[in-house]
Amino acid sequence: MSTVAKAVALLDVLGRGEPERALADLARVAGFDKATTRRLLVALIEQGLVEQDAESRLYRLGVGIARLALLRETQFPFLRTATPIAEELAARTGETVHFSEHSSRGLVSIYVVESPKANRIAVPLGEILPLHATASGIAFLAFSQAKTVAAALSGELESYTPHTVTDAASVRDLITAARARGYSIGAQGYEDGVTSVAAPILGARGLAIGAIAIAAPRTRVQPGDVETLGLAVMRAAAEISERLTGRRAKAANE
């Protein structure tokens, strides 16, 4: 693992769970020795990406992270554009809504609105969503280039539940169905007891740059609900795409 990759891994650890962590805890979770962890933390502190409390000596994310996020958001206002639409969709459906963005790391969950109901689905921020096993991933692949699909389905596909589809040909069938329908349907492929629907967020070239999804406990989804939720998430995705590009979203395969 490169030095940059190790530094990013530390930032990921600091961004999850407790807001402040001790050196030994960081080293243990990241899988590095203490000397390496301390050296990386010193470099990150110098760049403002990590801070250390003067009294407790605990480490936390620094304000430099927010500065980089603001710079990125200024150039590509994905989060600012999609957030109000996701919140409205969550309020209307009463279920958890989350949207994700594709990057070199994969399809990453970047915003979550949890259902107010006691029995709800939780989606961690920053989670990498497997493309073959989630509704978001299938929706993304349905409106991606052929080479992206081929790369995602190459090699052995990991199984997460007894319901995960791991046969590449069968996953391609799911992708084809999602493309024709306009949204994908997830049936416990990533987590038992979860039903989800997702639609792609399209960029200027008509290709998916992310996805927005609704996730609900399977026991609460009644016959007919899947189509209702699917159409709702598809409309939300189209609105986000239109606001991002300034025109009605049109898929590259249309």
Delimiting residues of CATH 3.30.450.40 domain(s) in the chain? 76-245
User: Residue 122 is encoded by which pair of tokens?
Assistant: 């939780």
CATH fold of the domain at 3-67: Arc Repressor Mutant, subunit A (1.10.10)
Residue 121: predicted pLDDT: 94
Delimiting residues of CATH 1.10.10.10 domain(s) in the chain? 3-67
Cα angle 17, 19, 22 (rounded to 5 degrees) comes to: 95
Identify the CA nearest to 79 among candidates 113, 128, 49, 104: 113
Does the domain at 76-245 match CATH 3.30.450.40? Answer given as yes
Identify the CA nearest to 30 among candidates 47, 54, 6: 6
Identify the CA nearest to 133 among candidates 73, 66, 253, 213: 213
Are residues 135 and 185 in contact, defined by beta-carbon separation less than 8 angstroms?
yes
Per-residue pLDDT tens, the chain, 254 aa: give them: 788 888 888 888 888 778 899 999 999 999 999 999 999 999 999 988 999 988 899 999 888 887 776 666 665 678 888 999 999 999 999 999 999 999 877 899 989 999 999 999 999 888 899 999 999 999 999 999 999 999 999 989 999 999 999 999 999 999 999 999 999 999 999 999 999 999 999 988 889 999 999 999 999 998 889 999 999 999 999 999 998 887 665 555 44
Question: What pTM was computed for the model?
Answer: 0.74
Query: Distance between CA 124 and CA 112 in Å, rounded?
Result: 8
Calculate the alpha carbon distances from 199 to 51, 95, 99, 122, 137 in Å: 38, 16, 10, 19, 9
Residue 98: predicted pLDDT: 96
